[in-house]
Chain A
Amino acid sequence: MKNPIKKLLAATMTAAMALTMTACGASSSASTASAAGSTAAAKPKETTLKVYMFNQPENFDKVLDKFYAETADTLNIKLDFIFSDASTHREKIPLMMSNQEDADLVFDAYWMNLATLQGQGAYASLNEYFNNDEYAGLKSAFSDSYLKQVTDEDGNIFAIPFTQAAEDIPVIYIRKDLREKYGMEPITSNDQLQEYYDNVMADIKAGTLDMTAAIGVSGTRAFYYLDLDIYDKRAENIYVIDSTCFGVGMEMEAAISDDGKTVLGVGTLGDPDEAFADFPAPYNTNTRNTRVVDSLTKWGSYAQADAQTETDAKTNLFFTGKVASIEGNISNYTDMEKAITDIGGELECYVYTDLMRNEEQIVTRPQTAWNFLCVPIQSKKKDQAMQFINWLFESQDNHDLFELGIEGEDWKAVGTDAYESLTPANKYSFPGYEMTWNPNFIRTNNSLPEEAKSIVMYQNDPATYLDCTISGFTFDANTTPELKTAIAAVQSIQSEYQPILMLGLKGNSDAAKATLDEYYTKAKAAGLDVIRDATKTQLQAFLDRTNS
């Protein structure tokens, strides 16, 4: 190659080749980084994601440091978490969205602003990341059926749902020591529960037991699902439309035809039986009315007299030995057990829903997840935000780091699906429901006694759940100003009557019936039928869409 022109040409060609290769390399590393980010590639440019949540975790920095150390060469993402309180978060996020502020992941939920903001197009579509082999973590953790609840009518996935099992089994916690004192076998029916309560009340009356009531109730939760037949009804295609955010026991119920194409009827608390005439038997009468009038009146007679004005959380009453039982969820077991052991008692729980007690299959509710993360439409780091979420669900280790903390310091693995909690001085805690909960990544607390463990295993088993006919349906409260006004007005009446009706404190059925009638008259005048019609219309539209 003596010719200088040839030399120049060769040099130019070489440079061009080198440049092309560099460009290819850069683009390939970028695309790798934009995918899972876990394969060995050139270190991506550092990106900081702004994540808005609420409820400050404890000792969060140590987990973030470990995350940075582990992903410095792969993701190279820094996380700027902004935690406020739930109320501020609810007020602030719409302001931020209307101001197009810099945010990359935002917590939202239907009990916050999700319906409104999603309707306004504030959140980006995430379709390209799910069911995509480049995002293996997302693909394995979020199935199509799970994502149905966050897919809008145009097929856009607008949020990342977080939930563990579809249910947190509701139970009644009782004092095992008292039950044994009364010579009773473990409680397996409501009749036995009543017998236990009768024994406690007799002792209180006789002055031999220093308690104020057999069951402690407070707040809006009251008796929750006790004697509420929602799970049995789901098997008959009757669903509670709870996205209206009405109180438990006061929501709209809708019956769907067997072929899943038609809304047969919509009924609610207070309605005459005729409203349920088209519901399948034996649910063609208003069982909610009879629950309030008879059942809750009965259970209310075992509750503390001042339940309506109770300022203490009911757990405090139970923890201090003032009451002999409370209603709660199985996830509270560890805390309950510790508290009751501290006061010298023994804990036991009774699964009061027949289907769950018998460990039968349960049809899920239309929305199994309550909590979501969304990517605001203005985010310029959507890829990186989804890479981070993908990383989180890419392996059990990644997930456990954010959910449970540092292994060996905050917790210890027991097998592949359980853990033992450790108690270092800088114990990590994180609100998992805001980012890490997923049905495929559940570790059970190994310190649970066998009784609770078997309930939790049943609860966490995917085989426990059957798909719901209206899975993904969410009631939109903002379709018309009339509907919006009606919901606000009825909610206000409900909040006035809920403590009276749901705590069953009227003492007798006639008084409960009179209060129920009073509530119903007011709720009707406030626009209950507007909500009923909207429920029916929206649900029918949803069925038409899904069946087309």
Chain B
Amino acid sequence: MTTIKQHKAKIKVPAGDKALTIFCYSFVIIFAILCLVPFILGLSASFTAEVALAKNGYQFWPSEFSTAAYELLFKTSQIFDSYKVSIFVTVVGTALSLLATTLLAYPLSTGKLKYAGKLNFFIYFTMLFTGGLVPTYMLVSRYLGMKDSIWVLIIPILINPWNMFLLRNFFSSIPGSLAESARIDGANDITIMFRIILPVSTPALATIGLFYALAYWNNWFQALMYIDKSELKPLQAIIIEMLRNADFMKQMAGQMGVQSTQIPSITSKMATAMVTIGPIVLVYPFVQKYFTSGIMVGSVKG
């Protein structure tokens, strides 16, 4: 038996390249740490006693450990209800948005749709002009009758024109021969879209899905305008209400004759920040690989 010795050719890396690599790594590591610092300070502050925070300022480790901010936050069931609403809206909303955006973007990308140009302009127009708050409010609440419905958190923002154009451009970049060959095999447009186009579009769909998920998770405006029932309010709406109430008390207390000392604390603001970023931060690792490749879509074609 002959032993074959494999020699790995050693490529000598020039010192300059090494230095550059070290510099890049160091820069990225330092940058990453700097990004983490505010988060750590916030986390530490959320576990610090209010008085200690005011006295000693923000520190990396709580100067006086306290869970009072979280107790305040979780003392009612409201926050749990809001979590459920937020999760429902994010999951269902993202799925519906992806479906609706795809169904709009694909026909526009084929170049065969009659009135595609006019339709494109119609969609583009909404990026430049809106009806304004009052007409939108009246449309949604009076004519669509969606006030105090969970669907008001999804339907009015179902399609984002920017995302639609992004997806349309991605679809346009897919070689037409793919769809053509399927058509020769007897596939209709729906089959082509679902069986041929969408499977090769996962990076774009993941990217846009993430955009939608973040938009739904962070959306509070619809809820504040159209939702009166507290059990239908999503997490962000509850939090913005808390923060605005705090600001209001700070600014107006003196002018309207109410007590100013019971202002909701800084620590509870920090605790709410920690509570809200929790679930959505878990989405990133799952879509990250698609997200980064998705970003390149449109500029680099394989």
Which of A's residues lie within 8 Å of B, judged by CB? Answer: 54-56, 82-88, 91-92, 95, 98-99, 101, 109, 111, 163, 168, 219-221, 224, 248, 312-313, 315-317, 319-322, 328-329, 331-332, 335-336, 339, 342-343, 370-371, 431, 433
Contacts and interface: CB of A to CB of B under 8 A. Distances in A.
A332 B261 contact: yes
A491 to B, nearest CB: 13
Contact of B257 (A83, A224, A322, A433): A433
A335 B256 contact: no
A86 B260 CA distance: 15
Nearest to A369: B257
Contacts of A319: 51, 54
Contact of A111 (B133, B137, B147, B252): B252
B251 interface: yes
A224 B254 contact: yes
B252 to A, nearest CB: 7
Contacts of B228: 82
B225 interface: yes
Contacts of A316: 54
A98 B255 contact: no
B55 interface: yes
Given A101-B141, A220-B251, A336 B261 contact: yes
A102 to B, nearest CB: 10
B260 A328 contact: yes
Contacts of B247: 87
8 contacts: A85-B242, A88-B224, A88-B244, A95-B137, A221-B254, A315-B260, A328-B260, A332-B260
B248 A86 contact: yes
B55 A320 contact: yes
Given A54-B248, A88-B241, 7 more contacts: A83-B230, A91-B133, A95-B137, A315-B260, A329-B254, A329-B257, A370-B256
B245 interface: yes
Nearest to B245: A85
A56 to B, nearest CB: 8
Interface of B: 51, 54-55, 133-134, 137-138, 141-142, 147, 224-225, 228, 230, 240-242, 244-245, 247-248, 250-252, 254-263
A371 B256 contact: yes
A73 B34 CA distance: 65
B54 A84 contact: no
B248 A92 contact: no
A111 B256 contact: yes
A85 B260 contact: no
B256 A109 contact: yes
Nearest to B242: A85
A99 B224 contact: no
A168 B255 CA distance: 10
Contacts of A91: 133, 225
Contact of A85 (B138, B244, B255, B258): B244
Contacts of B248: 54-55, 85-87
Contacts of B138: 95, 98-99
B291 to A, nearest CB: 33
A316 B137 CA distance: 40
Nearest to A242: B255
B23 to A, nearest CB: 36
B134 to A, nearest CB: 6
Contacts of B250: 219, 313
A380 B251 CA distance: 36
The 9 closest A-B pairs by CB, nearest first: A85-B244, A335-B261, A86-B248, A316-B54, A221-B254, A85-B241, A320-B55, A82-B228, A370-B256
Looking at B241, B242, B261, which has the most chain A CB atoms within 10 Å of its CB? Answer: B261
Contacts of A168: 257
B225 A92 contact: yes
A320 B254 contact: no
B224 A92 contact: yes
